[in-house]
Amino acid sequence: MRTFVYIIMIIHPIKPLYNSDSRILILGSFPSVKSREECFFYGHKQNRFWRVVAAVLGVDTPVTVEEKKEMLLSNKIALWDVIASCEIEGSADSTIKNVTPNDLTPILREAKIEEIFVNGKTAEKYYNAYIRDTISREATVLPSTSPANAAWSVERLISAWQVILKSTERSAK
């Protein structure tokens, strides 16, 4: 008996989150299955993104999509992903193939993005391969908040992610 595995091209279903006040852009790689189902970023309950960013900003961890949007936008943080479409098995970044990058031009044109951060090594890899030279901007890599990055505790992630707080404080001046 043969087993067939079908891999299809998946198009990113979530619009970028930003406004003209955004000064910091955080980019993930590509949304997980759970995030794609919820049509919003970092939807998997095990992902530590919302806990980490809330702790860095000194606010309560948001629960609803509206609370998450408000927390980021009120702190001048934009959010999106590096990849617009790709072939991927489930949520496994290691299976990503045939990447089409997102076009960051609309965000960079409308907002005065001062710093770009990437959430993890996969986002860094695809940012450097497809976007960095196109927009002539470096990105700072932060340790992934994914549950797959089990070597990093929440406390350690919060410490590493403090750099975004320094950026939000600089942009407030």
pLDDT tens readout for residues 65-116: 999 999 999 999 999 999 999 988 878 777 889 999 999 999 999 999 999 9
Q: Which two tokens stand for residue 71?
A: 């927390």
% pLDDT > 70, the chain = 94
Model pTM score: 0.92
Within-domain flag for 25:
yes
- Structural domain contains residue 5: no
CATH of the domain at 66: 3.40.470.10
On whether the CB atoms of residues 71 and 53 are closer than 8 A, the answer is yes
Residue 1 lies in a domain: no
Pick the residue with more confidence: 46 or 75?
Answer: 75
pLDDT for 90: 79
Most confidently modeled range among 91-95, 137-141, 165-169: 137-141
Domain contains 94: yes
Higher model confidence: residue 76 or residue 44?
Answer: 76
**What is the reported pLDDT for 5?**
64
pLDDT band for 156, please (50, 70, 90 cuts).
very high
Report how many domains make up the chain. 1
Report the C-alpha gap between 56 and 151 in whole angstroms.
Answer: 19
Is residue 141 helix, strand or coil?
strand
Query: Is 2 contained in some domain?
Result: no
Sequence-ordered strand ranges (E) for 51-143: 77-81, 83-87, 97-101, 115-119, 140-142
The strand pairing partners of 140, in sequence order, are 117
The secondary structure of residue 75, as a DSSP letter, is T
Query: Range of 160's domain?
Result: 13-172
Tell whether the torsion through CA atoms of 95, 100, 102 and 105 is positive or negative: positive
Domain membership of residue 23 (yes or no) is yes
Q: Give the E-state strand segments of the chain in sequence order.
A: 9-11, 24-28, 77-81, 83-87, 97-101, 115-119, 140-142
The predicted structure's pLDDT at residue 29: 95
Q: Tell me which DSSP letter residue 44 carries.
A: S
